[in-house]
């Protein structure tokens, strides 16, 4: 009985002890939660400061670069055409695609047999016409001599008539003799008329023979020209392309057998919008001879060439817009007609502009300007040009001030930032990466705060706890946690 009583008393004491321990644990837990809640509620509210890169607005004189795309063409391109029909009997040494030829060099020769026969016939016709001219001239001389003789007969008959008339006036002459003299004079005059007509006919024959001779000479010259055209030569030094003639092939008149291109007389044609075209006009409305640089990407290496704007197209062209511009190349080495190149044109210089990153200007034309106490304000700017990853703005109102280099959604007017200037990034990086060693009490306090935080996401909390348990901890992270703790 005594044993049972003592056992029950022991069990009661054990239960009372366990209950006391449970109550003590519950009181400690409540105290800890209350303390944690009081500590979190008493943290001072701190303004969040962002770090952002800033760039100064520095007025300067800038030569904007206008970029376009164009095609390389040749100013001297000649279609080599066959002037005669026939069979190709000979080809020049370099008459191949890409062959380089000199001015006057033989390209190909068409079978000249028929043309040589035509030249021979022409020469024979010329010789015959020359003989006809000589015969006509000789006949003209004879007829002229006949005319002279007939006129002398008229003079003699006139003298005889005068003598008979003198005798008749003295009464010693016979009327029959006077009449015979008059008839003889009339016959002589008639002979002169006939001789003159014959001379005129001889002169007409000479003229006709001369005309016939000129015609035969023209025909001979044409035959000789056609014979020369059977041999096609290069009109200027250049390179051949689109070669379409082979030895033994029949070609027709005016058939294109090749194209001759001058590789040293190249230019690039490119199209600009009307707004871009207006930037290249001078005060008189003429196109300025601006410098251009063309580049061709060849296996990752840019092949460059220099030149100047030479002219513009006279018309826009059906279905086209803007203006077609031509620039003559000063250094065409390596380029070929048909190359698709990038063209960069140096525009006239602009004064009083500043160059900023393109990300610094919003779509509405505003920038964030750094003001007093490193707070931001929004200002409107005038964008003069956009140059790839940068823009040119009028710098009169913002000269000497600093603007945000890249606008992000977290930045806006009134936000305070920690400016990161060019040249300070190198010194800031070591500070941000500085590592420190924590003592046990400080490490435990930081871990306890992170574990008890209800505002941190679980992934961020795990990442911080992992770093805090390392032998060395980033200085910047420790400062940030202790700032939130209010210590």
pLDDT of residue 41: 46
Q: In angstroms, what CA-CA distances link 325 with 53, 72, 288, 295, 387?
A: 41, 12, 11, 17, 20
Assign residue 154 a region (left: φ > 0; alpha: ψ between -120 and 50; beta: otherwise).
alpha
Beta strand pairing status for 417-420 and 50-56? parallel
If DSSP codes are grouped into helix, strand and coil, which group holds residue 340? strand
C-alpha 308/C-alpha 395 separation (Å) is 30
Do 281 and 331 sit in the same domain of this protein?
yes
Amino acid 44: pLDDT: 47
309 and 362 inside one domain: no
Q: Which residues contact 298 (CB under 8 A, 6 or more apart)?
A: none
Q: What is the pLDDT along the chain (487 residues), one digit of tens a residue?
A: 666 777 777 777 777 888 878 888 888 777 776 666 555 444 444 667 788 888 898 888 888 888 889 999 888 888 888 888 888 888 888 888 888 888 888 888 888 888 888 889 989 999 998 888 888 888 888 888 878 887 887 777 777 777 777 777 766 666 677 677 777 777 777 877 887 888 888 888 888 888 999 999 999 998 888 888 888 888 888 888 888 878 888 888 888 888 888 888 889 999 988 888 888 888 888 888 889 988 887 766 678 888 999 888 888 878 888 889 999 888 777 888 888 898 988 888 888 888 888 888 888 888 889 888 888 888 888 888 887 788 888 888 888 888 888 888 888 888 888 888 875 544 444 444 567 888 888 888 888 888 877 767 777 778 788 888 888 888 878 877 877 776 4
Asked whether the beta carbons of 320 and 271 are under 8 A apart, the reply is yes
Examine the domain organization and report whether 125 and 216 are in the same domain. yes
Taking CB atoms within 8 Å and a gap of at least 24, the contacts of 223-228 are 223/115, 223/118, 223/119, 223/121, 223/122, 224/119, 224/122, 226/83, 226/84, 226/115, 226/118, 227/112, 227/115, 227/116, 227/118, 227/119
Please report the pLDDT score of residue 430 as a whole number: 42
> Is residue 161 a part of any domain in this protein?
yes
| pLDDT reported for residue 326 | 92
Q: Is residue 8 part of a domain?
A: no
- CATH number of the domain bearing residue 119: 1.10.287.620
Cβ neighbors of 3 (< 8 A, separation 6 or more) are none
Is 223 in the same domain as 119?
yes
Q: Show which of 401, 422, 443 is a domain's final residue.
A: 422
35 assigned to some structural domain: no
Residue 28 belongs to some domain of the structure: no
Residues 395 and 330 placed together within one structural domain of the fold: no
Q: For residues 177 and 224, state if they share a domain.
A: yes
Same domain, 270 and 307: yes
94 within a domain of the structure (yes/no)? no
**Predicted pLDDT at 363:** 82
CATH code at position 336 = 2.40.30.170
pLDDT on residue 214? 92
Indicate if 217 and 144 belong to the same structural domain: yes
**Is there a single domain that holds both residue 395 and residue 454?**
no
Let me know if residue 86 belongs to a domain.
no
Q: Which of 212, 229, 246 is the last residue of a domain?
A: 229
Tally of domains within the chain: 4
Q: Is residue 438 part of a domain?
A: yes
152 and 213 both lie in a single domain: yes
Same domain? For 118 and 225 the reply is yes
- Residue 89 domain flag: no
CATH number at residue 359: 2.40.420.20
Domain boundaries, position 458: 434-485
Looking at the structure, tell me whether residues 196 and 126 fall in a common domain: yes
């Amino acid at each position: 009985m005594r044993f049972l009583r003592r056992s029950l008393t022991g069990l009661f004491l054990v239960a009372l002890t366990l209950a006391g321990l449970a109550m003590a644990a519950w009181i400690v837990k409540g105290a800890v939660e209350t303390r944690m809640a009081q500590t979190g509620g008493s943290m001072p509210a701190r303004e969040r400061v962002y770090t952002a890169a800033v760039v100064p607005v520095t007025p300067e004189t800038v030569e904007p670069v206008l970029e376009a795309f164009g095609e390389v063409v040749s100013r001297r391109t000649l279609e080599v055409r066959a002037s005669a029909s026939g069979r190709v009997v000979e080809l020049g040494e370099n008459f191949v695609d890409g062959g380089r030829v000199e001015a006057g060099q033989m390209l190909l020769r068409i079978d000249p047999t028929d043309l040589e026969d035509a030249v021979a016939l022409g020469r024979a016709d010329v010789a015959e016409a020359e003989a006809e001219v000589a015969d006509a001239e000789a006949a003209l001389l004879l007829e002229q001599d006949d005319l002279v003789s007939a006129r002398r007969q008229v003079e003699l008959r006139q003298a005889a008539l005068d003598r008979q008339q003198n005798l008749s006036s003295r009464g010693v002459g016979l009327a029959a003799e006077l009449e015979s003299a008059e008839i003889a004079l009339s016959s002589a005059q008639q002979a002169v008329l006939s001789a003159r007509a014959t001379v005129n006919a001889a002169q007409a024959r000479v003229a006709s023979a001369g005309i016939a001779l000129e015609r035969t000479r023209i025909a001979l010259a044409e035959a000789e020209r056609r014979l020369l055209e059977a041999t096609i030569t290069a009109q200027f030094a250049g390179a051949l392309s689109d070669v379409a003639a082979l030895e033994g092939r029949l070609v027709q008149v005016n058939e294109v057998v090749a194209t001759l291109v001058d590789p040293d007389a190249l230019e690039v044609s490119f199209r600009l919008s009307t707004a871009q075209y207006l930037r290249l006009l001078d005060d008189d409305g003429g196109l300025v001879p601006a410098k251009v640089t063309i580049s061709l990407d060849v296996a990752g290496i840019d092949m460059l060439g220099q030149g100047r704007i030479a002219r513009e197209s006279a018309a826009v062209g059906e279905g086209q817009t803007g203006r077609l511009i031509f620039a003559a190349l000063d250094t065409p080495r390596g380029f070929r007609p048909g190359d698709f190149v990038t063209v960069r044109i140096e525009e006239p210089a602009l004064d009083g502009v500043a160059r900023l990153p393109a990300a610094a200007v919003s779509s509405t034309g505003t920038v964030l300007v750094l003001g007093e106490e490193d707070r931001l304000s929004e200002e409107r700017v005038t964008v003069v040009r956009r140059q790839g990853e940068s823009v040119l703005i009028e710098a009169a109102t913002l000269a000497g001030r600093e603007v945000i280099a890249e606008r992000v959604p977290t930045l806006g007017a009134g936000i305070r930032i920690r400016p990161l200037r060019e040249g300070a990034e190198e010194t800031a990086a070591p500070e941000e990466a500085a590592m420190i060693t924590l003592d046990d009490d400080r490490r435990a306090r930081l871990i306890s705060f992170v574990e008890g935080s209800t505002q941190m996401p679980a992934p961020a909390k795990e990442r911080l706890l992992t770093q805090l348990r390392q032998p060395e901890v980033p200085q910047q992270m420790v400062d940030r946690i202790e700032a939130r703790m209010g210590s």
